[in-house]
Amino acid sequence: MANINKMAKIKITQIKSTIGSTKRQKLTMQALGIKKMHQTVELEATPQILGMVKKLEHLLKVEK
């Protein structure tokens, strides 16, 4: 059986509203799978996901 590297998981929670955010920020939030306030999603910590989180860090809480 092949050795499969497991990526670290991160929990992302929206803590601030997207009202007043740019359309691009709202679409990025949607791409992360977050639809409403205080919703938490657990995702793989890929470079793509980490880049999206970095752009929205003022709206999110991130846990390892």
24: domain CATH number?
A: 3.30.1390.20
Helix (H) or strand (E) holding 62: strand 60-63
What is the distance in angstroms between the CA of the first residue and the CA of the last residue of the chain?
Answer: 28
pLDDT tens digits, one per residue of 4-60: 567 799 999 999 999 999 999 999 999 999 999 999 999 999 999 999 999 999 999
Indicate whether 32 belongs to any domain. yes
Domain of 47 in residue numbering reads as 9-63
Query: Residue 64 pLDDT more than 70?
Result: yes
Indicate whether 33 belongs to any domain. yes
Indicate whether 1 belongs to any domain. no
> Are 29 and 56 within 8 A, CB to CB?
yes
Q: How far apart (Å, rounded) are the C-alpha atoms in residues 4 and 31?
A: 26
Indicate whether 55 belongs to any domain. yes
Q: How many domains does the chain have?
A: 1
Indicate whether 46 belongs to any domain. yes
Indicate whether 2 belongs to any domain. no
Q: Model-level pTM?
A: 0.85
Indicate whether 15 belongs to any domain. yes
